[in-house]
Amino acid sequence: MYDMNLTTSHFPAQNDAEIRDITVGGLLREVAASHPDAVGMVDVAESGYCGQSWTYAEILAQAESLAEALATRFEVGDRVVVWAPNIPQWIFMEYACGMAGLVLVTANPSFQASELKYVLEQSGAVGLFMVDGYRGNPMAEIAREATKGNTRLREVVNLECEDALYAHGERPAILPDVQPDDAAQIQYTSGTTGFPKGAVLSHKNLVNNARLFCARKQVGPHSVWANFMPLFHTAGCATGALGCLQAACKMLLIKRFDADVFARLIEEQGVTTCFAVPTMLFNLLESLEQTPRDMSLLEVITTGGAPVPPDLVRRVRDRLGCHLLSAFGQTEHSPMICLNPVEATLKQIMETAGPPLPQTEVSIRSPEDNRVLPIGEVGEICARSYAVVIGYNDNPEATAAAIDADGWLHTGDLGTMDAQGFVRVTGRVKDMIIRGGENHFPAEIEAVLVTHRNVAQVAVVGLPDEKWGEVIAAFILSDQPLDVADLRTHCRAHLSAQKTPSVWVRVPDFPLTGSGKVQRFAIREKFLAGNYGEVLQ
């Protein structure tokens, strides 16, 4: 740990690690040369049984072959959307796009037509790489609807059709000279309007952040990383996949989290590490109560994406016998900003997200006048480093609002800093709801609900929940009958299942500001106090 004695809430960047000028493809080539026979990826079926595996040499060969095929069909800088669950082809696309100079745009496989259409069009994508369906979501049918009228899109490719995926076009199969500061990915995140913004992240952003994060959690070639975080999220494709690559360790690629399956994998495959949101850890502990298993090889679990209950830290340490380290980050920082080290005290892990990672400067600033605040005062968490997003795609106004003239990324999250530089996250300037580690935007959900015939006005708010971190609640003004099943059906016709509220409340009015804006924080406080609205069943 750093020996700090800060007098203001400003943690200077620590130079105890280097920032490398290297690309995703350059890193893969480097690791394949130094660890050619090490197993780099294992495809895990939804049942939990391990299928095909690839060494780093084999991953490189696959990625280079795909990169050459893509180079014959696309130009450097073209954007392509990858819309699929955690399958090996996703990883091959991540590396191949990096080598071919393409920008990979991520998309959630639970998207409905309007959501996919928005990402395709806002990103300016010329290719869509997908699967036909996943977990009951008819993706092929949705894609046909989402791509109607899209004149920019040139290819729609099934990732599981090898002939189509590796087909060669008319351009020469020559890989370009990709640079570390070139864009590598566009990840969609929250916006003030409720519509996601496309965070453009560079090779240098992603590769270095993954390495420094994994170094602090002491991942190495011996490690076995269970990666069930979705690849469309930076926790899956950046921190997870690129973190494993940095460490030259084995990655178990898992399509979705299932506590019983994960418990068995820990025992049978010798899992040493993972990233898991608190909800997943609660489920794992419940599974182990029903079916005890050997957890002795677990070394460290990192967690974030929701407040970490103190009881969870104790239970993980007692039952799993490993470190549980809380972290803080956001997509716009590639994504990790802070992480507790293994030598942190139990109190620090329970109450803070740890100090900043190496080469990352963090300050707590007044949202009113941007001044750095004294130690312990609540303000906006800001970060400045190599990992700050290039900008938002086609949105200079949002970029300027997020990154100030001095290069500080304003995260929109509230927190405090102690004299040692440990950051405590206390809330959000934004209204974003984090349910089970996944971000949801109230305005997007409200825009759907307000089109329901019986809804006059609606405010969507996050409510605290021990298991999920937060759950989504819809507070509705209406003088018409409200049927919860009908409201859910209406939501599901337009939104993914996880965006559909689980708490429905009829209210007589909304608390308003002087200018007539709805005060979401006041709705939350009044409801939790038990004197606001009628809960609908």
> Residue 511 is part of a domain; what is its CATH number?
3.30.300.30
Using CA atoms of 279, 89, 70, 145 in order, give the dihedral in degrees to the nearest 10. -70
250-254 and 273-275 beta bridge pairing? unpaired
DSSP state string for 270-322:
T--EEE--HHHHHHHHHHHHHS----TT--EEEE-SS---HHHHHHIIIII-S
Total residues found in the chain within this entry: 537
458 inside domain: yes
Distances (CA, A) of 295 to 272, 280, 291, 320, 349: 9, 16, 12, 6, 21
Q: Does residue 507 sit within a domain?
A: yes
Query: Which SS3 state, helix, strand or coil, does residue 239 take?
Result: helix
Tokens of 65: 């072959």
Question: Does a structural domain hold residue 30?
Answer: no
| Residue 481 included in any domain | yes
What domain range includes position 447?
Answer: 433-535
Q: Is residue 346 part of a domain?
A: no
Angle at 216 between CA 214 and CA 219, to 5 degrees: 45
Per the domain annotation, does 151 fall within a domain? no
DSSP 3-state of 398: helix
Q: How many structural domains compose the chain?
A: 1
Place of tokens 């011996």: 222
Q: With 0-12 CB in 10 A as exposed, 13-18 as middle and 19+ as buried, what is 85?
A: buried
Q: Per residue in 22-60, is it b (16+ CB within 10 Å) or e — as a string?
A: bbbbbbbbbbbeebeeebbbbbbeeebeeeebbbbbbbb
Measure the CA–CA gap between 112 and 60, rounded to whole angstroms: 33
Residue 176: is the preceding peptide bond cis (ω within 30°)? no
Distance from chain centroid for Cα 253: 16
**Could you tell me if residue 56 is inside a domain?**
no
Q: Residue-wise pLDDT tens for the chain (537 aa)?
A: 899 999 999 999 999 999 999 999 999 999 999 999 999 999 999 899 999 999 999 999 999 999 999 999 999 999 999 999 999 999 999 999 999 999 999 999 999 999 999 999 999 999 999 999 999 999 999 999 999 999 999 999 999 999 999 999 999 999 999 999 999 999 998 543 457 899 999 999 999 999 999 999 999 999 999 999 999 999 999 999 999 999 999 999 999 999 999 999 999 999 999 999 888 898 999 999 999 999 999 999 999 866 677 788 889 999 999 999 999 999 999 999 999 999 999 889 988 999 999 999 999 999 889 999 999 998 899 999 999 999 999 999 999 999 999 999 999 888 899 999 999 987 666 677 888 888 777 877 888 898 899 998 899 999 999 889 999 999 999 989 999 999 999 999 999 999 999 999 999 998 875 546 678 888 998 999 998 999 999
DSSP conformation class of 472: E
What stretch of H or E contains 465?
strand 457-465
**Distance between CA atoms of 283 and 393, rounded to whole angstroms?**
37
Whether 464 is covered by a domain: the verdict is: yes
Asked if 192 and 240 touch (Cβ cutoff 8 Å), the reply is no
Tokens of 267: 């025992």
- Assigned token pair, 211: 């390495």
Residues 393-409 as b/e (b if ≥16 CB within 10 A, e otherwise) read bebeebbeebbeeeebb
Tokens of 292: 């005890």
For residue 193, the model assigns a pLDDT of 43
Distance CA 178, CA 175 (A): 8
Can you read off the two tokens belonging to residue 407?
């290069």
